[in-house]
Structure 1
Amino acid sequence: MFDLFRSRDKAVRILLGVILGVVAISMVGYLIPGGWLGDQASTSSDTLATVAGEKITVLGAQQQIANVVRTRNLPPEMMKLFAPQILQSLITQRAMAYEAHRLGLDVTDADLAYAIRLQMPAQLIKDGVVDKELYSRVLADQGLSVPQFEADFRDQLMVGRLQRLEQEGIVVAPAEIEQEYRRRNEKAKIDYVLISPASLQAAAQPKDSDIQNYYDQNKASFKTAEKRSMALLTIDPAKLPINPTENDLLALYNSQKDRFRVPARVKIRHILLKTDPQKKDDAAVEAKATDLLNQIKKGGDFAALAKANSQDPGSAVKGGELDWIVKGQTVPEFEKAAFALKPNETSNLVKTTYGYHILQCEAREDAHLKPFAEVKDQVAADYRSQQTTRLEQQLADKAAAALKKDPLHPENAATDPSEQVTRVDNYASGEPIPGLGVSAEIDTALAGLRKGQVTAPVALPGSKIAMAVVTDVVAPHPASLAEVSGQIRETLLRQNTDRLLNEKSADLLAKARSMNGDLAKAAQSMGLTVKTSSDFDRSAAVEGLGSASLVADAFVRPVGSLLGPITAADGRAVVKVVSHTPADTAGLAAQSAGLREELKSKIVQQRTALFEEGIRARLEKEGKIKINKDALSRLLQSYRG
């Protein structure tokens, strides 16, 4: 039996998605999650760097590089590109966490638990708490322990607090907003001549003698790829006979009733006004929250007040909607207030570590078991999935054994209507396979196999299973002219076309300049056509040319200026600036808020990078960051090969 289907366990897949979601949050700034701190007893040769006494080890760094490649589904050869970036990010992350801790921006256990619970779907909350066994198991599958993961997630929360502290006080001046508005909304109009590759195809065609000369000069670089012929056996789950009876479904339902138990839950919307202990603003925030509560009690529109005032960005835009929550999903004070409310009832002020909340209950449900009739379709889908997995595994085991026993007659291994054998001759890695297309999974399974050997079963999209027996191997060899003449012809055609485009567009520009900037007259003399664009702004596309960014100089060069040659979407262009239209400021007021946030976000990105660089530089100067350059160099070299 092979282990192909183990990852299909539904609960594991759900939690894996959740954990990777949490990991994604921590990757926003630093690419990777926890587990990078090493054993304090590591030897110096195992240590890449120390930050304030904490070590980043070679093993820990290798694990994190592998994690990034795996979670992003990147080919292993990409490690050499990501490794330097990841290693520097590890050091920066630890430096930022140290600085946050030094400034007293620590995260309490309650804050950490709340942040992690927010990532968990209701199905994984049992009796008000996260299913710790499943949580631990999936983290272990990712090479992480619970303490490692939670320690790093705590660091990420601390770093977030530090970044928010650093970003306070960023102000975008009205003049900057207006300048950006004008820049985005001013327009230009151009005349242009586009010379297309198609118009030069006849002149660009290479001669046979050119192809021969190119082959002779580059013969050493022409080698055929290793090729394999194979018999590919696929199992199509759509052709498996799975027709469950009512009793089959009832039996599955009764064996998994815990899956269909719904805990007590309440549908809540809320308004949050945050407090900041460093600002000592508790009284002012409480006063504002009290005013909002009074407005609601007098009939005020809760959703409108939430949109205008709530500081929970995830729910404010939805009128404060949090949807359904279950016990164990929020901080205790919030949970107690939420579950005490009746439908349409509004709470008094609720104080948590985040600030002051006003809760309103929209609906509530007691704990109950979903009846069979309600979940029958889901049970049927689960039954088919389980049976598909079981039958595919049985068929795959049987087919693999048959192929290994008699690799010369692979068709004999296909004994079920769901199985099909396809002969694929002279196949090179990366080429499309009939009926499957390009398959990295098949390529990986075939790599290195000799004639008569059989691949392991491979999972393909659509829940198909495939395996192949290699029927022939053709080793790489110097390519003959006949084998590569088509490739050479395309290369020379592309080179010739590019050269002719450059020459002709340069000639046109020179003629236009010699005719006092008369692009139309120059184009006519060369049998070319001038087109005039409509007015366009910087975010637009110019018909026939492509993005306005290609002619960005048209916004700043004087009317009458000639630009080019420009590499456009379909050829080369020579351009003349026809007119400029200033921005209409009538829309400035309506767009000011959005522009302010965009400009602020850009400033935040710039300042964050400088802030992090400054912290690292200071800690290095203080001797708190020490990098083992030899170990770092050896590790990076191991990925370069």
Structure 2
Amino acid sequence: QSTEVFSKASHILINQYGNDEKNLAEANKLYDRLVAGADFAALAKEFSKDPGSGSKGGDLGYFGKGMMVKEFEDACFNGKVGEIQKPVKTNYGYHIIKVTDRSDKKYIVEKIVNQVKQSASSRDRNFTAASDFSFLAKKNDFDSEAKLGSYNVQETPQFSELAGSVPSIGQNKRLVKFSFENSVNTVSDPFKVPSGYVVVKITEAATEKFRPFEELKEQLKPAVIREKKFEKIKSIAENLYKNINGDLSKAYSIDTNFTVKQTGSFVPQGSIPNIGKDYGFLNSAMKSEINKVSAPVKGLRGYYIIKVTKRTPFDQKLYATQSSTLRSTMLQEKRSRFLNQWVTEIKENAEIVDNRHLFFGQ
């Protein structure tokens, strides 16, 4: 049960003049009209420069904390529901905001959705449909293909590379990464999201602007703290490396906080026992000489000093003799899964008449 609050808001973005004074003056005029009783949605459609929400009367839907820039978020979570707020300045321009609802409704909706489990065949159909649409949208027009397929197209508000989430879609670092590594009009392959699959098209890349340190301070703080910790750990690791002089067993005698652990066997594509997936560790281990202690290696969680004690070469002859058996086993496992799925779906869709009373006494 979550106590996190979500806000629902509408806004009108004014940034057309390239001048703060003119933008503020225009925003104040609209604010006065709204306070006097003008229709918010109508003015948003006419004047808002937000391409995602303007055509929808300024409606942004529900969003949680951390999904909007700080000034906008503060206004939405501190303002009264139903009240027209005075223009709020962000790096995008001036916003006139109206909070239309505030609740934890989103959690309730997700709870209901998560109870409805898709069958494997449904997921396959959805992925196939998303893949087909992506293929056609890359070759033809995105909006036209969406209309032909009766798909719902939504435009998100602008978001930053630091966010890690996409407004209206949610937490998806791969989608954020795609958005900032590709050019405008690029169409994506399907991305898996909690509700199914999405295919996105990059419609706009905001011109990079100078942003004050105070505005970015909270976003940058975790990365700076992590980097400082890593600098300190690196210094400790380098000092230890010098003192052990190629003998890992000396580590504990130098400082009882140090421990030497064995990973056990692992493969290049797999998880490393006692460590997990760490490509920095993995790459170094694969390149290290047998029984030679490595210099400190930076990984995801800290620095490692590695000694590879054994490396088993790939056995081409063994693979050749077993590959056919492995392939047959994999195919059999896949067929078994499909058979079990088919039986389950038949049971779920069957009309069952209970005649046990004809055979057993009460």
Q: TM-score range by the shorter chain?
A: 0.3 to 0.5
Question: Which one has the bigger helix percentage?
Answer: 1
Question: Which one has the bigger strand percentage?
Answer: 1
